Amino acid sequence: MKWLRFFNTPTKPLGKDGKKVSGCVEHIELSKNTAAEGIVLLKNQNNVLPLKNKKIVLLGKASEEYVKGGGGSGDVYCQYCTSLYEAFKSAEGIELYEGLHDFYQENLKAQRAKKREPGMTSEPELSGSQIKAASEFSDTAILSINRYSGEGWDRACSIPGKELHMENIEVDVWGGEDAFRAMSKEVFPKGDFYLTTEEENLVKAAEKNFKNVIVLLNVGGVIDTSWFAENPKIQSVLFLGQGGMEGAKAAVEILLGKKNPSGKLTDTFAKRLEDYPSTETFHDFAGGVEYQEDIFVGYRYFETIPGKKDCVVYPFGYGLSYTDFEINLVGQNDADEKIAFTIKVKNTGKVSGKEVVQLYYSAPEGKLTKPKLILGGFKKTKELKPGESCFVETEIEKNNLASYDDEGAVKKSAWVLEKGDYKFYYGNSIRNVKETETPFTVKETEVVLQLTEQLKPKKLTKRLLADGTYKNLETSEYEKIQRPELFKKAEVLEGVIPSVRGLPYKSLVERFHHPAKHLQDVADGKVTMEEFMAQLSEEDLVWLLGGQPNTGTANTFGIGNNFDYDIPNVMTADGPAGIRIMPWIEQYTTAWPCATTLACTWNEDAVEKIGEAVAKEVKENNCGIYLAPGLNIHRSPLCGRNFEYYSEDPLVSGIMASAAVKGIQSQGIAATPKHFAFNNKETNRKQSDSIVSERAAREVYLKSFEYVVKNAGPWAIMSSYNMVNGQHTSECKDLLTNILRKEWAYKGMVMTDWWTRAEHWREVKAGNDVKMACGYPEQLLEALKDGCITIDEVKTSARRVLEMILKLD
C-alpha cells in the first residue's frame, strides 16, 4: 500500500545512520566534482596550466568572493561558500602571497555595508607598491573576474540608444529589483559585459609585472573575451561559470592538474555585445520585444549569416584539455527512422581526460531558409587514460532534420524535409568538425508532420533570412481585452499570501461513522478518481486551483489542501541550484552549480545524479514539488536569469533538463520545468510581450520543452510571466492546450509563475491548472456563474492536480 505523504509533519533524516542528506558531505563532494567537469579551458598558451610554479599571487577582489550562482529564487542558503583564496589555502604544496588578503577583505567589508552582493562589487585599485611587492614574491599571477545577476532585472546595456528606459517598466513593489539595476549601473557604467576601467587597470598591471598571467572568469553567462583571446601576455584562461558552494575548490583542482578540464561552451562568445542580433531590441518595452533574428539564435546566427563568423571569439562547443584526442567515425547506420553514428575517441596525449563528441547536420537549401549547422547529438566519453580508446554512439531521428514551414513555402503549418542531401559533421566544437562521407538523401520533398497554425504573430515587422537580409511582414492589431481595474495596480497583485479556507465545526463522531471518500482511497484502488471527485463541491474544486499556505520549512507555498477529503497541502520548493530554505530556519542545503555550468559539462549522467541528490533534500525538508529545471533559451547575453538556464541551443537544453527531471522524479518528487515559454528577459517580465514567429517558436524556443515532455515526462510544468504575441502565456490556449497537450500529449499539471498579471479564470480556460502563489476561488465561482468557464474545465484542472499528488512519494 502506498500511503499519501502529508507535508505538515516533520520527516526523518534520509541519510545513512540517521544523518541528514541536506548539505551533507557526499552532496557537497558531488557538487564540487560536477563543477570541475563544467569548467572550460579557453586558452593555455605555452601549457602554463596546470601550474608548475606553486608560488602564487591572487589578483582581484573576486579571489576573495566566489559567486556560487545568481540571485532571486535561484539562490540557495548554504552553510558556507569557499573563496578561491580559501581553496588555495587548503591545497597542499601551494605558497600563497598574503600581502593583498587583508586589503581585499577590508575593501569588500566596506562594500558589503552598501549591501553589494558578491560579483556586484567594484574592483579596488592597487597601488604601485602593492603590485611591486606581489611581483617580487612570484612571477605567476592568477587574476579573477566575477559577475552577478539575478531574477527580476537584466544586465545593463551601455550601447547608445539601446539602454534601459525605466519609464516603461512596471513599478517594483519589492524594491530589490530597482536597487540592483541602480547598483549595476554604478558598478558597471559600461555594462557588465565589458571590463570596468578598474578591472582594465588591474589587467594592465598584471601584464606588466608578471611573466605568467592566468585569468579566471567566475561568471554565469557570456562576457567580453576579446581582451585576452589574442593577447600573448595572458597565457591561460579558465571559464569557471558559477559552480556552487565549492566551485572555487573545483577550480583549484583544475589549476593544479588534479583534474583535467573537459567542459565545453554551450554559448557563442562574440567580440561585442552589439554582435548579438538580439541586442537591437532587447530593452524594447512599449511595443513588445521583436525576435527579428527569427531562427538564427546563437551559433545558428554566427555560423550562417555572411560576415558574422568573424565576430566570434570562442565558438559554440569549444573547450581545450590538458591532453589531446583523436576522433574518427567508424560506423554510420541508416536505419528506418534513425541514423546512428559510431565514433572512436582515442586519448593521444600524456594525461587522462574526457572528450565531448558533437554531431552537427546541415540541411539542403530549398524554399525554406535554414541555418548552416545545427547540433544533432552529442556524447561525453568516460575518462580515458593516455593511449586508451573508447567508442561512443549517437543518433539522429530523420524526422528531426525537418524544418517548420509557417508561411506555406512548401506546406503551411507542417514539418517538412526538403529534397536534397542532409550532411553530417562530427568533432569537438562547431568550428572543429569533419564531414562524414555519407549524407542522408531525400529524393522528393515530404511532409513528415502536418499541424495547424498556432501562436500567430501579429506585431512581428520583419524576420531575418540566411543571406543576412530581412523579409518584411504584414502586421495587424491584437484583440483588446478589458481587464478589471485591479490589474492596473501591481501593489495589489504582487506578493499576495494565499487566504486560508475556513472550516465549520464538525463532529469527529460524524467523520468516523459516515466517512467521505478520501484521496487515499483512490491511491489504494478502493474508489475511482471519478467517484472521489463526484463528492467535491464547486467550492472544493476551485480551491484546488490556487496556491495554499506555507507549512514547515517551505516558503513558496503549497498545492492541494483539503482537510475533509485528506488532500495533502503539497509544499513547493524553489530551485534550480538547490532547495532554497530561508536562513532563519537554520536548515542549510547544498548549493549546486548553476545550470549554465551544468550544461558546460555536456554530461547528462552527472546532471541526473544531481537531480536525484537535490530531490532527496527536497523530500527531507518535507516538500513535494521542486520548481526546476529552468530551460529557457539564451537569446541574449543580457538576460539576468541566464545562469538558471542551460544554453543557446535547444537540444543541449532539452537533454540536460530531461536528465534533471528523471533524477528528481526518481525520488518521488515532482519536477517543474520552467518557464514555459519565451521568458528571455527579466525586466518588466510580467508585461513584456515576446513577439516571435511560429517557426522560431517551434524550432528554437519550444524545442527544449518538447524534448523534456516526450523524453522525461515531467509531472508539472510552470508557465511564464511574459506574454507571447499579445497573450499572457498562462492564458494562451495555443501554447498550453493545443501545443503542449494535443500535439505533445502532455498529461501533467501546469502552474503559473508566482503572481502573474493574468486572470485566473482565463488561465484555467487556457489549460493552466493552478495559479500561484495564490488563486482567486471567488473569481472562479463568479466566472462559473457567468458562464465564462464551465464546470468541466474546472474539473479537468482539478483532476490534474490530484493525479500529480498521487504520483508523489
**Dihedral, 6, 11, 16, 18 alpha carbons, nearest 10:** -150
701/653 Cα distance (integer angstroms)? 10
Quick one: which of 168, 166, 204 has its CA closest to 185? 166
- What is the CB neighbour count within 10 angstroms for residue 130? 15
433/299 Cα distance (integer angstroms)? 14
Sign of CA dihedral 729, 734, 738, 740: negative
List the beta bridge partners of residue 727.
Answer: 724
Q: Is 397 left (phi over 0), alpha (psi -120 to 50) or beta?
A: beta
Residues 459-494: b if buried by 16+ CB within 10 A, e if exposed = bbeebbbbeeeeeebeeeeeeeeeeeeeeeebeebb
User: What is each CA distance from 649 to 268, 312, 480, in whole angstroms?
Assistant: 10, 16, 35
**DSSP-assigned letters across all residues of 399-437:** GGG-EEESS-SSSTTEEEE-SEEEEEEEEEETTEEEE-S
* Bond prior to 439 in cis (omega within 30° of 0): no
- What is the CB neighbour count within 10 angstroms for residue 584? 7
- What is the CB neighbour count within 10 angstroms for residue 506? 10
Sign of CA dihedral 254, 578, 697, 493: negative
Q: Kindly provide the residue ranges of all beta strands, DSSP E only, lying in 647-802, ordered along the sequence.
A: 670-671, 689-691, 716-718, 723-724, 727-728, 749-751
> Are 445 and 410 contacting, i.e. CB atoms less than 8 angstroms apart?
yes
Angle, in degrees to the nearest 10, between helices 650-665 and 703-712: 30
Pairing of strands 289-290, 670-671: unpaired
Quick one: which of 489, 490, 487, 458 has its CA closest to 474? 458
User: What is each CA distance from 260 to 46, 84, 141, 244, in whole angstroms?
Assistant: 16, 18, 20, 19
Quick one: which of 467, 246, 227, 261 has its CA closest to 369? 467
Residues 61-84: b if buried by 16+ CB within 10 A, e if exposed = bbbbbbbbbbbbbbbbbbeebbbb
- What is the CB neighbour count within 10 angstroms for residue 403? 24
654/670 Cα distance (integer angstroms)? 17
* Bond prior to 675 in cis (omega within 30° of 0): yes
Q: Which of 275, 753, 769, 786 is catalytic?
A: 753
595/100 Cα distance (integer angstroms)? 32
List the beta bridge partners of residue 333.
Answer: 340
Quick one: which of 102, 68, 71, 69 has its CA closest to 85? 102
Residues 6+ apart with CB under 8 A from 34: 243, 592, 593, 597, 598, 601, 603, 606, 607, 609, 610
How large is the C-alpha radius of gyration of the chain? 27
Does 753 qualify as catalytic in the annotation? yes
Element (H, E) at 218: strand 212-218
> Are 347 and 308 contacting, i.e. CB atoms less than 8 angstroms apart?
no
Query: Active-site positions?
Result: 753
